Chain A
């Protein structure tokens, strides 16, 4: 992907991956909304990405290609973290899934994924434009 294609591809791919992992996690939460002792799962990604993208303040100058950089160019370091929220409890059976909240999160996440796929399409469209030469 690197080289010929711009970095938008990897960023969008990563964001879409995060979105689909989040969808799976929401599905798991909803499927277990009546399971005793179940604690909801959560995906952390956007904060990590933001941290990664804004890390340029204290970056080292790398005039020579063999210099070690402290702001990695690839997004390999940004991982999609799935964690369990164990601190809260909503029902008598120690479950902490709020069905309405999960449904709202799911709606949000679906729109997000659809937006990302449009962006991806537009990004590919640019290459088509160049290749057709018109």
Chain B
């Protein structure tokens, strides 16, 4: 039974991670045209870095029996995309340089939309696992025999 609660924690960590990713994607899309971000440069696209949680290496056969050392996923950090900014020719823009070019954020809205779909699918998958875990618990609780 405890096993099942741990499974729920794993799925919850997955949902938390995907939700955080969704926040970052929202920030990227919202700032796709922001020319004034940190340090007087345009907004830089942000990405999340995921990493697996393992309490200790689980491949030792004696510990595999319990399956107790899986921990799900966590966000290591939010990184800034170091690729160059987009240059757009727009002399009327207040942030245009002497040649008339404006540095725009390195956000590709199309890519963000694809990431958005990915994040959404992953979130749904984790939510389905939670439902299945509940089905496991229900099945176990119904064992009473005799009736």
Binding site for B on A (CB under 8 A): 16, 20-21, 23-28, 30-36, 38, 41, 79-84, 99, 102-103, 106-107, 110, 113-114, 117-118, 120-125, 127-129, 132
Contact = CB atoms under 8 A, between A and B. Distances in A.
Interface of B: 3-4, 6-7, 10-11, 13-14, 17-18, 21, 49-52, 58-59, 61, 64-67, 70, 72-73, 118-119, 121-122, 125-126, 128-129, 132-133, 135-136, 139-140, 142-147
B3 A20 contact: yes
Contacts of A122: 145
Nearest to B141: A117
A24 B10 CA distance: 8
B59 A121 contact: no
A24 to B, nearest CB: 5
Contacts of B50: 32, 34-36
A127 B145 contact: yes
Nearest to B135: A110
Contact of B14 (A30, A81, A114, A117): A30
Given A28-B72, A35-B52, A124-B143, A23 B64 contact: no
B51 A35 contact: yes
Contacts of A80: 64-65, 67
Nearest to B14: A31
Given A124-B144, A124-B145, A103 B64 contact: no
Given A31-B10, A121-B142, A23 B133 contact: yes
A81 B24 CA distance: 38
Contacts of B67: 20-21, 24-25, 80, 82
Contact of A31 (B11, B140, B144): B11
A21 B3 contact: yes
Given A31-B126, A82-B59, A99-B121, A123 B145 contact: yes
Which interface residue of A23, A26, A124, A127 has the most chain B CB atoms within 10 A?
A23
Nearest to B11: A27
A60 to B, nearest CB: 26
Contacts of A125: 145-147
Contacts of B122: 30, 33-34, 99
